[in-house]
Amino acid sequence: MKKRQLGSSDLHISEISLGGMSLSTDKHKAATIIDMALDAGINYIDTADLYDFGTNEEIIGQILGKRRQNIILATKVGNRWTADKNGWCWDASPNYIKEAVYASLKRLGTDYLDVYQLHGGTMEDQWDDIIEAFESLKKEGTIREYGISSIRPNVLHRFLPASSAKSVMMQYSLLDRRPEEWFDFIASTGASIVTRGTVAKGLLTMKWQERLQATQSYNSYTQEELHMALTALTTTYDDLHALALAFNLKEPAIASTVIGASSPQQLAQTLAAYEKVAAITDFSTVNHATKIEHYSEHR
């Protein structure tokens, strides 16, 4: 498993990362997936305090145990569960960021985080105060680096140049090419992109026909447009899953692509697809079959 530098930081993360959101709340099942990921050379695990009311962090922490020091561990903050846990609200206040980080550390069974990410963001947030909170946590050694999970260009323009953030988590795939417009800007600030949604809810896997039957649309694609695009791609490329990974990893601004797995079989499929990535170098059919779009909001 190849690794890439995360922005201008000292962290080098695997090109394929494990997303925690899809992990089972059954510790044994989750352990099988995490163990397989580590054996394959995956060293970056992404979770959030929002997932399963914090249980996701707890399970990951328990499974990693003493192996935690060999892992680049990332979690997120900002979405705060209501008291009855029937929903959540946005809270990016410095006090909550500092309160939440220690709760995450306890659940993860560690005394530091490698990457702490703001789980969203709005133009109304007090960005100077947010950045100061992250910098304070970094200075005290509670976190090594910080970043943001957002697809809002106006938020990224406010946050990145004013901070020392090293990661931006964004949805990006050959069926959602909106972030491409912003790759150079993000890289110029010393940050790298970590992608989510790389396989587009399974549409960019070998089970695409099955997934398409249950899908009316994806982003601006209608079902008919999806069928046309995916048919064209599978005519040219042998493995749609491998193409999806290769398409993202061809970008120097992208450090890693986060892939979730709810079963060992799903992770095995991703790992098998990754083995074919290096052989995919011609993306001309992708450029003809897919849409190059731009964000219409939050500019």
Residues marked as catalytic: 51
Helix (H, G, I), strand (E, B) or coil at 235: helix
Q: Are residues 156 and 127 in contact, defined by beta-carbon separation less than 8 angstroms?
A: no
Amino acid at the residue 119: H
Provide the residue count of the chain: 299
| Calculated CA dihedral for residues 111, 112, 113, 117, nearest 10 degrees | 100
Buried b (16+ CB within 10 A) or exposed e, 49-79: bbbbebebbbbbbebbeeebeebbbbbbbbb
| Nearest C-alpha neighbor of 297 from the set 165, 178, 148 | 178
Take residue 288 and report the two structure tokens written for it: 């003809």
Query: Which residues on neighbouring strands pair with residue 170, listed in sequence order?
Result: 195
Amino acid at the residue 155: V
